[in-house]
C-alpha cells in the first residue's frame, strides 16, 4: 500500500444541503472529491467501485470565511456570497501500489474542492499499517458502523460517460473531522505518524 500526501493552501467541500446564500464547507472531502483527484492524476475517469480499496484522512489548520462576488446568469446584477474554506490543508490517500506512478506525474491539476484549491503532491510513501484500536477521524464512515456523528448523503462517484455528469452511487456517511481530542475508536489499520485509524472503503464488494 502507498500513502500519497497532498497539500494545499485552501480547500472547500460543498455542503450537500446548501444551494445558495451562505456556503459552508464540509470538514472533510466526500468520496466524489477523491474520485476527482484520482481521475485528474490518471488522466481519465476513475470509478471508486472498481478499486480494491481506498482510504483517506484529511486535516487542516482551521476554517476561514471568504466574500465571493457572484453574477446572476443572463443579468448584469451581482451579489456577495459568504463562502467558508479550510486553510493549510493536507489530504492523505491510501491506495494500491500502482497509483504511485500516476501521482509522480499527475495528468491534470489536483484540486481539493474548487478550481482555486490547487494541491501539490508532497510525498508518496510505502506504508504498512498494523490493525489496532485507534481514534478515527478526518474521513467519512459508513453509517452501518454505528459511529455517532453528523450524517450526510454523499456522492461516492459520478458517471462521466454522460453530460452533464450524474451521480452513479450515493450513500449515507458519518462525517468526522480530524480528531483533536476525544474521538470515536475503532479497530482499524493504524497510521502511527498521524495517530489515527484509517478506514479502507471497499465499494467493489
Cα torsion 29, 30, 35, 38 to 10°: value is 20
Helix runs in the chain, H state only: 31-42, 99-104
**What is the predicted pLDDT for the residue at 53?**
97
Domain span at residue 59 reads: 2-201
pLDDT of residue 36: 96
Q: Mean pLDDT, to the nearest integer, of 45-56?
A: 96
Segments of 37-109 assigned E as strands: 54-59, 62-71, 78-95
Band of residue 22 on the pLDDT scale cut at 50, 70, 90:
confident
Query: Residue 155 above 90 pLDDT?
Result: yes
Distance CA 162, CA 142 (A): 27
Which pLDDT band holds residue 128 (cuts at 50, 70, 90)?
Answer: very high
- Average pLDDT across the chain, whole number: 93
Mean pLDDT score, 163-177: 94
**pLDDT for residue 19 is more than 80:** no
Q: What pLDDT shows up at residue 20?
A: 67
Q: Tell me which DSSP letter residue 57 carries.
A: E
Residue 50's CB is within 10 A of a number of other CB atoms, namely 9
The 3-state DSSP class for residue 200 equals strand
**CATH number for 75:** 3.30.70
Residue 159 has pLDDT above 90, yes or no: yes
Q: Mean pLDDT, to the nearest integer, of 114-129?
A: 96
Q: What average pLDDT does this structure show over 41-58?
A: 97
Would you state the pLDDT for residue 18?
Answer: 64
Candidates 170, 167, 123, 172; CA nearest to 147 is 172
Count the domains in the chain: 1
DSSP count for the chain of H helices, then E strands = 2, 13
Give CA–CA dist 204/144, Å, rounded. Answer: 17
Between 179 and 75, where is the model more confident?
Answer: 179
Amino acid at each position: 500500500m502507498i500513502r500519497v500526501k497532498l497539500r494545499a493552501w485552501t480547500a472547500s467541500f460543498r455542503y450537500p444541503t446548501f444551494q445558495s446564500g451562505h456556503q459552508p464547507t464540509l470538514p472533510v472531502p466526500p468520496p466524489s472529491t477523491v474520485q476527482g483527484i484520482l481521475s485528474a492524476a490518471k488522466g481519465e475517469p476513475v470509478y471508486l467501485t472498481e478499486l480494491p480499496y481506498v482510504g483517506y484522512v484529511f486535516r487542516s489548520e482551521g476554517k476561514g470565511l471568504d466574500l465571493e462576488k457572484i453574477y446572476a446568469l443572463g443579468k448584469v446584477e451581482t451579489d456577495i456570497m459568504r463562502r467558508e474554506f479550510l486553510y493549510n490543508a493536507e489530504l492523505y490517500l491510501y491506495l494500491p501500489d500502482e497509483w504511485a506512478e500516476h501521482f509522480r506525474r499527475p495528468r491534470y491539476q489536483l484540486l481539493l474542492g474548487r478550481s482555486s484549491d490547487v494541491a501539490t503532491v508532497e510525498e508518496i510513501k510505502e506504508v504498512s499499517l498494523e490493525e489496532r484500536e485507534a481514534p478515527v477521524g478526518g474521513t467519512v464512515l459508513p453509517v452501518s458502523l454505528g459511529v455517532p456523528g453528523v450524517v450526510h448523503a454523499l456522492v461516492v462517484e459520478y458517471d462521466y460517460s454522460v453530460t452533464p455528469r450524474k451521480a452513479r452511487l450515493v450513500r449515507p456517511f458519518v462525517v468526522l473531522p480530524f480528531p483533536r481530542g476525544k474521538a470515536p475508536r475503532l479497530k482499524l489499520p493504524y497510521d502511527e505518524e498521524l495517530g489515527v485509524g484509517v478506514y479502507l472503503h471497499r465499494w467493489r464488494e
